[in-house]
Every structure is written in C-alpha cells, then in structure tokens.
Amino acid sequence: MSESLIRLIDQAPYYPRCSDNKTAARVLPREYAVKQPYMQVNQPGLVSWLVFDLDHTNSWIWEDADLPEPNLIVSNPKNGSSHLFYAIKPVCTTDNAHLKPIRYMKAVYKAMAKALDADPSYSGPVAKTPFHSWWRTTELHSYEYELGDLAKHLTLELDSIWHQKQANIEDVEHSRHCYLFERLRHQAYALKSHHKDYSSFHDDIEDRALRLNNFKSEGFSADLSISQIKATVKSICRWTWDKYTGSGANRGVMKLSNALPLNKKQSLAAKHTHTARKSATEAKIRRAARILAKDGKKLSIQRLAAFTKLSRQTVAKYKHAFINTPLHQGVISIKEAFGHGAQNVKNAVHQITAPGRDLGSRIATPLARASNDAISGASRPIFRPTRRPPGRLFSWVMRFIPPTLPLACLRRGEVSNANGG
C-alpha cells in the first residue's frame, strides 16, 4: 500500500463524510470511506492536508509557479480538473488552539491558491479520494512539509482588518457579512474583560450576533444562515480572546502633547468624543433613510425614529444627515416633511395653542349649568360623558361648595333639590 494512502487513512476522521458525489452526505468508517469517490480528508479541528481545487487542466502549474511539488495529484480524466494534495505537519484549529499557527497556515494557503490559480472559495472538507478508480492519481513523494518550507516560495499577505480602530459601517453596509463583522467585533472588544473563560465569552457574542441578524427587515433579501453566523462569531471570538488587550483601543488616539494641562486635554477629548458620536448617529440615520427609500416607503421623522430606535427629537435634529438622500417615486419630499413654516416644532408638523380660559370660567360654567338644569327639571348631566373621570381640579372645587346649593345628580333622569322637594 502507498505511503500517502496510509497517511491519508491515519489522518482522516474515524467516521469521515463520504459519498459518490460532492455532497458527501454519508458517514462511514474511514476504512470504507476510502472506497468512495469523495471523502473528508482532514479531521475536525486538525488540518493535515492542504488541498487545492484546480478548475483548469494544467495540473502541473506548480512547476510554472516555482512551488514545491505536491504529494498527490488527483485529476478527473473526463474534464482535466484536479486536486493537489500537500501533506503538512498537523495544525490544530480548535477553539483552544493558538491563533498564530492558524493565521500562518491560512496566509500560506491563500498565497498558494493564488499562485496555482486554484478556486479561492474552496475550503473542503471533502476532496477527491486519492487512488479511487474514478480518478487518475499521481504520487510524487511522501514528504511532510513544514509551513515554513512552503512559505519560502511565497509572498504572504496577512489581513490587517483587525487593526482598524474605527468601525467602517457605511463602507460595508452593502454586505451582510461585513456589516455584521464590523458591528460585532467592536462589541467583542468591550466585552472581553467581562468574561473569565472563552466559552462564556463565545456564547455572549453568539447571542448578540443572532440578535443583529435581522437583515431582511433592513432591506436585504434574507438573513444570514446559522452556519454563517457561527463562522463569523468564531473568527471574531478567537482573535479577540487571543490577541486583543485593549492597549490600543482609544487611549492616545488624538496624540495630544504631554505638555498640555489636564483640563485642556479633557476639553479636547470631550469634543472628540462628541464629534465621533455625532458622526455615528448621522451615519445610522443616513443608512436608515437609504433603506426606506429603496423600499419605496415614505420618509418621515416618525418612520426614521422607529427604524433607527432613536427619538423623534434626535432624528429631527439630524435632518441634514438625510436631506440629500435620493428618494424613489412616491416618497414625500423633505420640504413636505419639515416645511410649512413651522418653527421650533419637534413632535408635530403644526403646533396649535389651545384658547386660554381663566380659572373662574372653568369653575363657574359647570355650576351655572347644573343650577339651571335643577330648576328646569332637565335630565342633562353636568358633564358630557367622556372616557376620563372628572379631573382633580373639579374635585378640589367641590370641597368648597355649600351642601345647600342645588346640584343635578350625575345619574341620568334624577334631580336633587336642596329643600327636599
């Protein structure tokens, strides 16, 4: 038996996924899984093979790219596509694993996939089973590479998105994944110090991610799937738990001189914080206005306030943030929403002052009506039926009315006479 095949069986999961198609929906013992055309070659949480999916017919492109030769070339004789297998020292990828080796491995894989013109979206875990009768397998050697052996021939690019200090929400609002990532990672930075172990920290971030997964209500075609949410949460939690210390969060972001007095620093810092909060609020309102306009809904202060979960006063104060937002047909104009000459009005388009009445008229009118009804025998109640009981003012006034004063009873059809008649 080939050494590479022996290693493939030893490093495979005990019960890998396998089948005769790419779905690999079956689960069999690995001794039987190697007899299927497709199988899972890496264990969950442990990467022993770097597999590259070549959709083109040049299975020997690694020679043109000046890369080390793969261990196995498994190609499809019908269309010429192939999988290249590189055996590497196993890299642990569990939640408790160190992040640096994982990032290093991902950087090596990304650079090699680019050099080999491989499918960048392929991530396994299912691959063409080497030595199966469906495929043409070429075994070149059984050497086990170190990641450094492969990196010597590459120019690695480490992703620097984690080091961005500010959440770039407006630039990524078109993508659900990026928007969730930007919102969630900054929450994770703040919450790390509140947890003593990784498990509770991960559960907290996952709960917040599920609450943020309401993209369908914000104008997208659908929400993210649970697997997509978990992948994003895992990426954020692992980096934050292993790498983030909080030392570069906001302290010193303004790079103020040490020669400035403390009160001056505090004043400048307060202005900086106010500007940052103002910009975040403007961006939130502007984004909501674009989503509502895209859906063809009327743009109003009340609708924006409900969408952004801000007060109507705040939305009215930031109306300049969306006054230039392009609207669809049928959406009311900003002039219609804020115009008509209304001044200093926050909760309504018009403010109508009620006619003034002095206290004497408010008291005398019901009493005079009651006395007249009592004399004439009318059955009209003192007050017209309303949903609310008489106010405290009337109750307070009644305390000072002499009991001999004729009053009409509150029950319809009954009249009371102070003389007993």
Q: Which domain covers residue 326, as residue numbers?
A: 277-352
Note whether residue 84 is domain-resident.
yes
Amino acid letter at 68? P
Are 80 and 27 in the same domain?
A: yes
**pLDDT score at 241:** 86
Lowest mean pLDDT among 88-92, 169-173, 354-358, 416-420: 416-420
Nearest one of 5, 150, 120, 137 to 54, comparing CA atoms: 120
Given this model, what pLDDT does residue 137 score? 92
Of 352, 376, 391, the residue that ends a domain is 352
Residues 11 and 118 in one domain: yes
Coil, helix or strand at residue 88: strand
Same domain for 382 and 348: no
If you average pLDDT over residues 157-179, what whole number do you get? 57
Give the chain's end-to-end CA distance (angstroms, integer).
122
Quickly count: other Cβ atoms within 10 Å of residue 115's Cβ: 18
In a domain, 106, yes or no: yes
Do residues 119 and 23 share a domain?
A: yes
Which run of H or of E encompasses 90? strand 82-92
**Within this chain, do residues 303 and 328 fall inside the same structural domain, yes or no?**
yes
203 versus 221: the higher-pLDDT residue is: 203
Residue 255 lies in a domain: no
Q: In terms of domains, do 361 and 337 share one?
A: no
Same domain? For 334 and 235 the reply is: no
Asked if residue 90 lies in contact with residue 48, where contact means CB atoms within 8 angstroms, the answer is yes
Q: Are residues 125 and 211 in the same domain?
A: no
Task: Give pLDDT tens digits for 281-321.
Answer: 888 888 788 777 777 777 788 888 888 888 888 888 887 77
Q: How confident is the model at residue 70 (pLDDT cuts 50, 70, 90)?
A: very high
Number of domains in the chain: 4
For residues 146 and 16, membership in a common domain is answered with yes
Q: For residue 157, is it within any domain? A: no
In a domain, 256, yes or no: no
33 pLDDT more than 70: yes
| 29 neighbors 93 (Cβ within 8 angstroms) | no
Q: Which of the listed residues 332, 352, 372 is the one where a domain comes to its end?
A: 352
Q: How far apart are CA 366 and CA 400, in angstroms?
A: 15
In this structure, is the dihedral angle defined by the CA atoms of residues 397, 403, 409 and 413, taken in order, positive or negative?
Answer: negative
Q: Which long-range contacts (CB under 8 A, 24 or more apart) does 274-283 make?
A: 281/310, 281/314, 281/318, 281/321, 282/318, 282/321, 283/169, 283/170, 283/321
Q: φ, ψ for residue 299 (rounded to 5)?
A: -95, 115
**Residue 32 domain-assigned (yes or no):** yes
Q: Is 63 exposed, middle or buried (0-12, 13-18, 19+ CB in 10 A)?
A: exposed
Amino acid symbol at 238: R
Residue 131 has pLDDT above 60, yes or no: yes
pLDDT-based confidence at residue 194 (cuts at 50, 70, 90): confident
Domain finish residue from 243, 261, 292? 243
Residue 187 lies in a domain: yes
348 with 360, same domain: the answer is no
* Domain assignment of residue 52, yes or no: yes
State both tokens at 234. Answer: 């895992």
Tell me, yes or no, whether 54 and 101 share the same domain.
Answer: yes
Q: Return the H-helix or E-strand segment holding 73.
A: strand 72-75
Please check whether residues 228 and 294 belong to one and the same domain. Answer: no
pTM of the predicted structure, to 2 decimals: 0.46
CA angle 153, 49, 41 (to 5 degrees): 160
Q: Is residue 125 reached through a cis peptide bond, with omega within 30 degrees of 0 on the bond before it?
A: yes
DSSP type of residue 400: T
How high is the pLDDT of residue 333?
Answer: 46
Q: What DSSP string runs through 352-396? A: -PPPP--HHHHHHHHHHHHHHHHHHT----SS---SSPPPHHHHH
**pLDDT grade for 122, boundaries at 50, 70 and 90:** confident
Instruction: Say how far apart CA 330 and CA 115 lie, in whole Å.
Output: 52
Q: What is the CATH number of the domain that holds 237?
A: 1.10.340
